[in-house]
Amino acid sequence: MRRRRRIPIALALLGFVGCASYRLPYTQPPGANEPTDAHRATLVFLWPSTSCDPAGYFTLATSDGEFLGNISRGSRLSVPVPAGERTIVAWNDVVEAASGWMKTATVPVLHADLREGRTYYVRMMLGEWDERGPVVRWYRSSKGRIPVRRCAAVTESTTSAMAVLSPGSEGWHDVPEWMAALDTIVPDRAAGQAWLDQNRASLDAHVAVAQDRFLALRPRARMLATIEPADGAPR
C-alpha cells in the first residue's frame, strides 16, 4: 500500500535554499579529503545521469541518525562507515517541497551488512522502479511488444531507489567508467550531522516510510536493496 504523508513546507524548503549555491549543502570544496579508516567499510554512491532525473539532490542518512552526505545527478559520494548492519534512507527535499508530499515510491531504502576494509558500491536509480521494485515498460510495434525504458512516474515526481552493485551484477562493469567520469562530492559531515540532529523529525518520518517500502518490495527488488558482506570489494 502506498503511503502518503504531509510534510511541513517550511522544512522542505531547505532543499531550495541548498540549490541556490554552486555546491550542495553540507559539502566541502572539491579536492578536500574525506578521512579514511582501514577499520571501517566504505560506501560509494554513484548517480550517473539519465533522462529521468528529477531536480534537486538526495540526502543520505542511516536510520539511527548518522548523516552520510548529499548527492546530485552526475556525481559520486564515498563515505567511510562503521562495519556492521545498518539501514540507509534517502530523500529529495526539493521534490518534496514542490509537491508538498512524501511518497513511498520516492524514498529509497537500503539494508546493509558491511565488513571493515571493504568497499561497497550503490547506484541511485531514477525512473526504473515503482514503489515495489524494477519495472519494464513495453511498446507495441508492428513487430510485436518490445521493452523500452520509460520514466516510471508518480503524480508529482519520479520514482527512485538505491541498488547494490556487486561483482557479476548488472551494471558492475560500468563502475570503473562511472568512478572516472562522475564528479566527486566530499561531504561536510560535521555540519551535515548538526543539521540532521536539528531535523530529526524529518529523518524519522522518512525512515518510517522507507521501512514500509522495504517490507513491500518484491523478492528480486529486496535482493537489490540489500548489501551482503561479500558484495564489497577489498581495498
Q: Which of 121, 131, 98 is nearest to 214 (CA)?
A: 131
C-alpha cell, 162: 538505491
Q: Which of 175, 161, 95, 156 is nearest to 130 (CA)?
A: 161
Contacts of 180 (CB under 8 A, 6+ apart): none
- The pLDDT profile of the chain, 235 residues, written as one tens digit per residue, is 444 444 443 333 333 333 344 589 999 987 766 666 778 999 999 999 987 888 899 999 999 999 999 999 999 999 999 999 999 999 999 888 888 888 899 999 999 999 999 999 999 999 889 899 998 765 555 565 655 556 655 444 468 999 999 998 889 999 999 999 999 999 999 999 999 999 999 999 999 999 999 999 999 999 999 999 999 998 7
Tell me the pTM: 0.85
d(CA 64, CA 34): 22
Sorted by where each begins, the domain ranges of the chain are 4-234
Cα distances (angstroms) measured from residue 152 to each of 36, 175, 226: 37, 24, 22
Helix and strand numbers, DSSP H then E, in the chain: 7, 18
